[in-house]
A and B are shown apart, each in its own frame.
Chain A
Amino acid sequence: GESVGLHLPTLSVQEGDNSIINCAYSNSASDYFIWYKQESGKGPQFIIDIRSNMDKRQGQRVTVLLNKTVKHLSLQIAATQPGDSAVYFCAENMGSNYQLIWGAGTKLIIKP
């Protein structure tokens, strides 16, 4: 079935560098995308979202890019900090029931 997937299960980044987490989706009908951060033992935390009529959205230290041509979503974290260590999930919404389709997750590891 159609799903959202991630290219890399683990990403190691030097503290202070920028992190880029990627996500591929296969359903061209999806019109809303969300990035969540999940720390160990906690529930997912909303980071940023983007609608399909946009290709870029910026938040505080984070940017989401959407490329509908190749069905690709990315999350950029600027000046990565130790507190950014977590698993990051992308999720898409494509229906009126508001259910989310989840990616597998990428574990971000920050090297000191």
Chain B
Amino acid sequence: GAVVSQHPSRVICKSGTSVKIECRSLDFQATTMFWYRQFPKQSLMLMATSNEGSKATYEQGVEKDKFLINHASLTLSTLTVTSAHPEDSSFYICSARDHRGWETQYFGPGTRLLVL
């Protein structure tokens, strides 16, 4: 149980284009989903917290117009990197928290984004 998927697993795009990453909880309902960014050999950096049906809460320094988050259902959240630039290249990981109230976050496999 507690499986989270992400799609795509890897994406290469040209500078200036937008990329959408999907995060799905497969066998549970997720009231809250989180989006992280991770640079090589570093810890996870929280970008935003997404609650189903409401606007995402962004961490300081994360541009909400650059990283659009939609959490339309209890099993799906999407992150869109708009007008991507090479500095946006990174490993993006989502996690989901079970709606039954436990604090544990279950993570997706991550999406490797490379912007040329």
A residues within 8 Å of B by Cβ? 32, 34, 36, 41-46, 49, 89, 93, 97-100, 102-105
Contact = CB atoms under 8 A, between A and B. Distances in A.
Nearest to A87: B41
28 contacts: A34-B104, A34-B105, A36-B107, A41-B91, A41-B110, A41-B112, A43-B4, A43-B93, A43-B95, A43-B108, A43-B109, A44-B93, A44-B107, A45-B107, A46-B2, A46-B104, A46-B105, A46-B106, A49-B104, A93-B103, A97-B49, A98-B32, A98-B103, A98-B105, A99-B49, A100-B46, A102-B43, A104-B42
B4 to A, nearest CB: 8
8 tightest CB-CB pairs across the interface, nearest first?
A: A43-B107, A43-B110, A102-B43, A44-B107, A43-B109, A93-B103, A43-B93, A32-B103
Contacts, number: 51
Interface residues on B, range: 20 to 34
Nearest to A45: B107
B94 to A, nearest CB: 8
A93 B2 CA distance: 19
A100 B105 contact: yes
B109 A99 contact: no
A42 B112 CA distance: 10
A104 B93 CA distance: 16
B83 to A, nearest CB: 26
Nearest to A42: B109
B44 interface: yes
A69 B37 CA distance: 33
A58 to B, nearest CB: 17
B97 interface: yes
Contacts of B67: none
A99 B34 contact: yes
B5 to A, nearest CB: 10
Given A42-B110, A103-B43, 17 more contacts: A34-B103, A34-B105, A41-B110, A42-B109, A43-B108, A43-B109, A44-B44, A89-B43, A93-B103, A98-B32, A98-B97, A98-B103, A99-B46, A100-B46, A102-B43, A104-B42, A105-B42
